[in-house]
Structure 1
Amino acid sequence: MQKRWVIQSFKPYDKVAALDKILGTPSAISTVLVDREIETFEAARHFFRPALEQLYDPFLMQGMERAVARLHQALTKKEKILIYGDYDVDGTTAVAMVYGFLQTLPGAAVSYYVPDRIVEGYGVSMQAIEKAHQDGIKLIVTLDCGIKAHRPIALAVERGMDVIVCDHHEVGDVLPLAYEILNPKQPGCCYPFKELSGCGIGFKLLQAFCSYCGLKSATLYGYLDLVAVSTACDIVPLVDENRILAYFGLKQLATQPRPGLQALIELGGLTTTITISDIVFKIGPRINAAGRMSHASLAVQLLIEQDLVKAYHLAQSIDQQNLLRQSLDHTITQEALAMIENKTHLSKSNVLFKPDWHKGIVGIVASRCIEQCYRPTVVLTLSDGKATGSARSISGYNIYEAISACSGLLDQYGGHAFAAGLTMPLAHVAKFQKQFEKVVSETITDDLLIPQQPIDALIPFQAITEKFVNILMQMAPFGPGNATPIFASEKVYARKFYLIKEKHLKLELYQTDCSVSYEAIGFGLGSYFPLVATGKPFAIAYTIGYNYYLGHKSLQLMVKDIKETVYMA
């Protein structure tokens, strides 16, 4: 797929030069920092040296005072408390954290509930509320869901239960009738940071609770591994508070993870240097597999398990579920791509429906389709007589708003700019396809339909010094909002080149005016083999990192794209 190389932005030379002088950083590094609005020594200090003391006061969040007071009251009176979370990684880590913390308190009568993805679907279910009432629950705390659960929460209130909603999804025009709502995105909330994960909101609730009860904040720090996993997998921006939480959560994952995560780390073959990417591609899919293929309560059991041997058994069971998920993923993706290829007309979106597709896989399939055909994509299947599924977007396009514009055809929907879930009557599928395409066509620009290859700076190989790389590594953790810097170099030659598995490109690259050559790998770039084999110079877009092999660490360029010459849009 052809990409359009785009310089992220051109920052004023004086700001870059000033930062060079203040920090003593190479100009390319300063350019990256200024582009991320790090322009002063103080901003750089906060960025390069995160501290838990920099976390915001949780009581700045609207509703926190009442929420904590109600939670404390329930614990004091030994009322039955239910921790209710979504079935994905964010929800299950949040449940494991809040439930795990509360159950350590003397006399706490706390239980947890995660809905069945297939039977109950997303969010707070009526079935769960009825069961909670039968079990004598007096307080429900929802995590990573609830902001649009009007009917279930109204039922809970009718049944004499209070509900505290902890959610980070976009709010609707009307808020549910909960006892209190913790969501920085709700109108009137002055909390300084709006992009916490669902687990992050739960962490702030516990942070406030510790303060309210006079407990040390350090009591919570043992749960930061869970917060880091949720932050990585829910694709929230790795800036501000999220960066701090992820930074320290990654440290814990590398040194003292909880048994369940330790088991997943070993199953994923990860080293002690764990990155956000490792979580997203190795840990997250395994946790998600439980909810996709069987029941997400298995993931919660794993994450709260204190015995390492039992954790290994649970992790192995989840790993088997993940293998099944991978098989279904491949089959359904091929069917979905065939549908796209067989379309008789060009479109700016894809809405795909097949009644026998597995409900737990459709979100992954939507993402896979975007990788091959760069369009906002909705993948639907049949469940309980309804068409239900997941939507995924492309960079720069808000798919939640597009779905909202079609709300008249939907029974329910929810999500955010990049991902959403939706349900509709079967009779509305064709109408939705037509209306969604109309909305997307009217609101998307043609340039957004061409995948961009962002470039932070154009540099020669001579710029890649030891100091340069050391500073670069200190900019981690990398993720949305703080992406791994991507550089471009031109007039590059390949000294060695060969294909791995017929699709990955392994290279040794050099420039004529630089004495050092670099190992490079281009995953999925096998089609460029003829170009690099000509002996002619070419341009590469790449990130810089390390390759670990048999205990040996070496510098490696991860090639993202190749062109005959540099062309920047």
Structure 2
Amino acid sequence: MRWKRHPQRSQAAEHYAREFDIHPLTAQLLLNRGVNGLEQMRTFLEPRLEDLTDPFLMRGMETAVRRIRRAIVRGERIHLHGDYDVDGLTSTSVTLLALRRLGALVDYRITQRHDASVGLSPSALKRDHLPQRPDLIITVDCGTSNLEAIDLAREQGIDVIVVDHHSPGPRLPRCAALLNPMQPQCGFPFKGLAAVGVAFTLVRGLQQFLANDDRDWPDLGVAELTDLVALGTIADVVPLVGDNRILVREGLDLLCSARRPGICALMRSAGLLSDDSTATSLRDRLNARTIGFRVAPLLNAAGRMGDASRCVDLLTTDAFRTADAIARELESINLARQQCEREIVQQATRVAETFVHPETNALVLADATWHPGVLGIVASRLADRFHMPVIVTSIDERGLAKGSVRSPETIDVLSALHGCRDLLETFGGHRVAAGVSFRAEHLETFRERFNSAVTAQLPDGTARDQLLEVDAHVRLADLSSRLLSELERLAPFGHGNPEPVFESRDVQPLAPRALGGDNLKVRFREGSQTVQAFGFGLASRGNDLRARVDILYTPRHAQSRRSRHLELVLRDIRSHHPDPDAAE
């Protein structure tokens, strides 16, 4: 584990600390995350919906809102087609609720995992849409690469609007409008939106466009949709900066009010909401991490193990009884998913270990018995364990290996896949997460080529040396209640906005002991200050705590029955060295 210390910009930090009446360490953290300048700082510290990017900067927006208005006025039938993950389900729900409020004749379909291709495939078009003869299809979280199906829809006289965020290939779909900030010549400056963020941008565009119309239209209440936008944005692990930060901050506040029946049912199933919960108590428990690890998996399980359409019913219903019934169904499905996942993780880990050699910087695994619905989670688990990009696939009866790619943030797997595209049937996604399919007979060749493509991105030739970025050196006595409260203002934390990591040197460990699940509990003393710390997965490091140490950690407020107190979440431990740079 290498520690990479951010350069300390004391003068700039002091300047912004005075301007915003914040602790210099808070200002240093913002500078470390690339937030610079008074307006950027203000927007980061005080995000507002009014600060969102103008929706009409997105290429195709004017055409899209005009076509949707025409469909509603003429009473045309509109179909939505969404992907089966949480981003696709929330995108579908946001668009569906907005169009229903406008009085549209709208229905929806969700991609089935067993379809031949992701998104709107020709078979899905024929099965889910053509029998009902819609006049307009709006794809959400898919469509950019579904060229064949969109051409087929055009031949049938059906217009298609694509609402997506995936990187396009060399050809764009021939659709009525393409809303995708990643498309060429798109002037929308923020490129990191999840699909639900693009869908929300479309709703904002409709709101603005119809506000100047000669007809009277109902208000879309865009702020009331931010709970769904936050859920999809967090689940898709996009950077929590820019527009995404604004959307998630607003959405988390709305989630804590527990107004939407489907959201209440999900939080109850996840153990976050009880009959005596208040908005204040929910705020203590609800954050990007609990959404990502406890709420989102309940929705993802349906798409992984079967049909995710019920999730849209859950997210859009006004009836608490209906929501509770669907949430209980999802709990059962998720239990089956967890069992399936555990078994495949164990199998895949054993297989992966046989391929890990000094020259291995990426893993490509395939098995005909692995359930395709859990491959993304399995790939994530293995990428965390082996600290390298991992592809996990299932081979179907046609000899097609199809699965998921996950990677540490230091590797651009989409670029690596582009370098192997002659061996691939399909691929697409993002820098650290993608989907892929290839012929099973190409497995060995692809494994070698993908490993070489990843290795080429590494300056030192190895992906396995984990890097921890250190925000600042801090004395334990400096961790005041005021500082911790300011650090909480920097949330939501996640991809693009990591939790703060501080370093304290030459501290004395006291009474270390192992807890269940390979966890560690220990107290640290520096001068007169003593602080309790927990190290998750660090029980094996107990031998490092026999003498004074340097530690990396994230400070946080912990809640006891009587009060809030300081607690450290350990990230790493090493023997104290008087010269920290020499210890690297």
Of 454, 468, 476 in structure 2, the residue corresponding to residue 461 of structure 1 is 476
When structure 1 is superposed on structure 2, of 255-264 and 141-150 the one drifting more is 255-264
Of 229, 236, 239 in structure 1, the residue corresponding to residue 238 of structure 2 is 236
Question: Residue 540 of structure 1 aligns with which residue?
Answer: 551
Q: Which amino acid aligns with 1:382?
A: I
CA distance in 2, matches of 1:266, 1:548: 21
Task: Report whether the alignment pairs 1:420 with 2:434.
Answer: yes
Question: Residue 544 of structure 2 aligns with which residue?
Answer: 531
- Against the structure 1 CA distance between its residues 524 and 344, is the aligned structure 2 distance closer, same or farther, given a 3 Å change threshold? closer
Of 516, 534, 538 in structure 2, the residue corresponding to residue 521 of structure 1 is 534
Of 210, 213, 222 in structure 2, the residue corresponding to residue 213 of structure 1 is 210
Question: Residue 54 of structure 1 aligns with which residue?
Answer: 51
When structure 1 is superposed on structure 2, of 430-439 and 55-64 the one drifting more is 430-439
Of 388, 391, 396 in structure 1, the residue corresponding to residue 402 of structure 2 is 388
CA distance in 2, matches of 1:109, 1:20: 53
Asked whether the 8 Å contact 1:118–1:383 carries over to 2, the reply is no
CA distance in 1, matches of 2:39, 2:218: 28
Of 380, 383, 402 in structure 2, the residue corresponding to residue 367 of structure 1 is 380
Asked whether the 8 Å contact 1:228–1:249 carries over to 2, the reply is yes
Question: Residue 346 of structure 2 aligns with which residue?
Answer: 334
CA distance in 1, matches of 2:186, 2:259: 34
Of 19, 22, 44 in structure 1, the residue corresponding to residue 16 of structure 2 is 19
Q: What is the number of residues matched between the two proteins? A: 561
Task: Report whether the alignment pairs 1:563 with 2:565.
Answer: no
CA distance in 2, matches of 1:202, 1:247: 18
**1:486-501 to 2 correspondences below 5 Å:** 486-501=501-516
Question: Residue 433 of structure 1 aligns with which residue?
Answer: 447
Q: Which amino acid aligns with 1:301?
A: D
Asked whether the 8 Å contact 1:520–1:558 carries over to 2, the reply is yes
Question: Residue 65 of structure 1 aligns with which residue?
Answer: 62
Shift of 1:464: 0.6
- Against the structure 1 CA distance between its residues 89 and 344, is the aligned structure 2 distance closer, same or farther, given a 3 Å change threshold? closer
Asked whether the 8 Å contact 1:87–1:296 carries over to 2, the reply is yes
Task: Report whether the alignment pairs 1:397 with 2:411.
Answer: yes
- The C-alpha deviation readout for 1:336-365, integer Å capped at 9, x for no partner, is 111122237441110000111000111111
- Against the structure 1 CA distance between its residues 239 and 150, is the aligned structure 2 distance closer, same or farther, given a 3 Å change threshold? same
Question: Residue 78 of structure 2 aligns with which residue?
Answer: 81
CA distance in 1, matches of 2:563, 2:479: 20
Shift of 1:398: 0.5
CA distance in 1, matches of 2:208, 2:451: 50
Question: Residue 285 of structure 1 aligns with which residue?
Answer: 297
- The C-alpha deviation readout for 1:491-518, integer Å capped at 9, x for no partner, is 122233222115111122221x2x3322
Task: Report whether the alignment pairs 1:197 with 2:194.
Answer: yes
- Against the structure 1 CA distance between its residues 410 and 521, is the aligned structure 2 distance closer, same or farther, given a 3 Å change threshold? same
Q: Which amino acid aligns with 1:255?
A: S
CA RMSD, 1 decimal? 1.8
* 2:184 counterpart SS class: coil
Shift of 1:120: 4.3
Task: Report whether the alignment pairs 1:319 with 2:331.
Answer: yes
Asked whether the 8 Å contact 2:8–2:472 carries over to 1, the reply is no
Q: Which amino acid aligns with 2:79?
A: L
CA distance in 1, matches of 2:382, 2:489: 34
Shift of 1:543: 0.7
CA distance in 1, matches of 2:563, 2:290: 19
Q: Which amino acid aligns with 2:32?
A: D
CA distance in 2, matches of 1:190, 1:540: 45
- Against the structure 1 CA distance between its residues 13 and 547, is the aligned structure 2 distance closer, same or farther, given a 3 Å change threshold? closer
CA distance in 1, matches of 2:8, 2:387: 29
Structure 1: stretches of 5+ with no match in the other structure: none
CA distance in 2, matches of 1:147, 1:224: 24
Shift of 1:550: 5.1
Task: Report whether the alignment pairs 1:310 with 2:289.
Answer: no
- The C-alpha deviation readout for 1:199-233, integer Å capped at 9, x for no partner, is 00000111111111116876111110010011111
**1:76-155 to 2 correspondences below 5 Å:** 76-106=73-103, 108-131=104-127, 132-155=129-152
* 1:352 counterpart SS class: strand
Shift of 1:30: 2.0
- Against the structure 1 CA distance between its residues 554 and 17, is the aligned structure 2 distance closer, same or farther, given a 3 Å change threshold? closer
TM-score, reference length from structure 1:
0.95
- The C-alpha deviation readout for 1:524-549, integer Å capped at 9, x for no partner, is 111112222x2x11121111112235
* 1:492 counterpart SS class: strand
When structure 1 is superposed on structure 2, of 497-506 and 328-337 the one drifting more is 497-506
When structure 1 is superposed on structure 2, of 336-345 and 278-287 the one drifting more is 336-345
- The C-alpha deviation readout for 1:462-500, integer Å capped at 9, x for no partner, is 111122112111111111222111111111222332221
Asked whether the 8 Å contact 1:82–1:139 carries over to 2, the reply is yes
CA distance in 2, matches of 1:38, 1:422: 35
CA distance in 2, matches of 1:11, 1:494: 27
Of 421, 431, 440 in structure 2, the residue corresponding to residue 407 of structure 1 is 421
CA distance in 1, matches of 2:146, 2:301: 25
- Against the structure 1 CA distance between its residues 396 and 257, is the aligned structure 2 distance closer, same or farther, given a 3 Å change threshold? farther
Question: Residue 476 of structure 1 aligns with which residue?
Answer: 491
* 1:360 counterpart SS class: helix
Shift of 1:442: 2.5
Shift of 1:459: 0.6
Task: Report whether the alignment pairs 1:272 with 2:282.
Answer: yes
CA distance in 2, matches of 1:257, 1:420: 34
* 1:499 counterpart SS class: strand
- Against the structure 1 CA distance between its residues 38 and 419, is the aligned structure 2 distance closer, same or farther, given a 3 Å change threshold? closer
Of 348, 360, 378 in structure 1, the residue corresponding to residue 361 of structure 2 is 348
Task: Report whether the alignment pairs 1:172 with 2:169.
Answer: yes
Shift of 1:101: 2.0
**Aligned residues: percent identity?**
33
Question: Residue 525 of structure 2 aligns with which residue?
Answer: 510
CA distance in 1, matches of 2:491, 2:82: 29
When structure 1 is superposed on structure 2, of 381-390 and 283-292 the one drifting more is 381-390
Asked whether the 8 Å contact 1:485–1:543 carries over to 2, the reply is yes
- Against the structure 1 CA distance between its residues 408 and 39, is the aligned structure 2 distance closer, same or farther, given a 3 Å change threshold? closer
- The C-alpha deviation readout for 1:446-465, integer Å capped at 9, x for no partner, is 36431111111111111111
Question: Residue 5 of structure 1 aligns with which residue?
Answer: 3
When structure 1 is superposed on structure 2, of 144-153 and 375-384 the one drifting more is 375-384
Structure 2: stretches of 5+ with no match in the other structure: 212-216, 273-280
- The C-alpha deviation readout for 1:85-116, integer Å capped at 9, x for no partner, is 1110100011111112212333x211111111
CA distance in 2, matches of 1:218, 1:45: 28
